[in-house]
Structure 1
Amino acid sequence: MHGIVKKYYENQPNELEILHGIDLKIYEGEFVAIVGESGSGKSTLMNMIGALDRPTEGNYFLDGEDVSTLSDERLSEIRNQKIGFVFQNFCLIPRTSAVRNVEVPMMYAGIPGKQRREKALELLDMVGMKERASHKPNELSGGQNQRVAIARAMVNDPSLILADEPTGALDSKTGHLVMDIFHKLHKEQHKTIVLITHSQELAKETERIITISDGNILSDVGGEQK
């Protein structure tokens, strides 16, 4: 990211600038935490990283492609193919089984039914949820739903996993189990993981901690210079 500025109500009397020129480089295979209090700008920054919103100024390159200049259609493809999302509230489809929930991104990618089912079961097995594949979200605990969400995030082998407060709705023991899965993905599959959190304790489990305050990067600690 180079000079990322995000303004709302641009050129209006109530114009609001949330991000004030963010410069940020995250390398392939890193496990990074972006930490900030409520109102710090971390959610806005997450939306930029996830290609969910566009910067007002600046450039964002993902895998060498300038995401900030792309059409809505191409942005949708980027989100489907290159970014795996894990949210605090799971974002699962309520009346659909775990295995079907994991299959959803593959349906958008045009992958045939049998292949989708095999891949979904394989990923549920990876997060310890294969035995619960036919259960719907309301039949699963919070930690189990989050594991299903992680499996879904992995279906298209994304370049980047973006996790927004992934343990926020869980008790501490379950939260640790979920974090163990992220560590496994990082160590065994060398996934690039960006964790958005307000928790310093959670951030300390990562290799590098970027602290954001009032729309600016306050500090950037850890990680290897490459």
Structure 2
Amino acid sequence: MFLLTEYESQALLLSIKVSLYAIVWLIPIGIFLAWLLAKKQFVGKSVVDSIIHLPLVLPPVVIGYLLLVLMGRQGVIGQWVYQTFGVSFAFNWKGAVLASIVVALPLMVRAVRLSFESVDNKLEQAASTLGASPLKVFFTITLPLTLPGIITGSMLAFARSLGEFGATISFVSNIPGETQTIPLAMYTFIETPGSELEAMRLCAISIVIALGSLLVSEWLAKQCTRRLGAKR
């Protein structure tokens, strides 16, 4: 049952590739935005917070359409990116990564922000009093204490990226071997008479990978929490 065809393997490998690339970008972006929202006060903070979390309430198809308008080769931003760097997002796997980043960003930011807000400010103040620079305080005190949240956010974002469908198909279409991830391949099988078994296989694989990601996240977060508790 779980012997995958080349068609199915391509979809699986592409899904993992897209999710991993998305996480590589999401970790620094998510940490910065979470720190900004948790530690800083500035005009328009609520607006920034709302924009970051907007993908949670917008239909994924709307997100895909907006990405196409903004980041397509003829888009407002995408045209400049293509002319300047020669990078095109629409209708290739890079666009699938971008779509995954957008839809998974709120999960990443929320998890890391909660960790930043739980850090005891007295520890940071004590390090500053002893002469540590703000940058050193961040990397030696704040960031290690938020590691459980970063791990949790990363795994949630990975699982979300793995299951992304609406924004991806709207922005980069459903091209086998190029943009067809597991959800898109499942959609194709569901729409094809007699392909129920193939759809079931990909469904089972998606569940196993997503569940595995959440279990690993929980285990790593507990290990980090124990080690941080032991150091204190």
**TM-score interval for Structure 1 and Structure 2 normalised by the shorter chain:** under 0.3
Larger Rg: 2
Q: Which has the higher helix share?
A: 2
The normalised TM-score by structure 2 is 0.26
Q: Structure 1-normalised TM-score?
A: 0.27
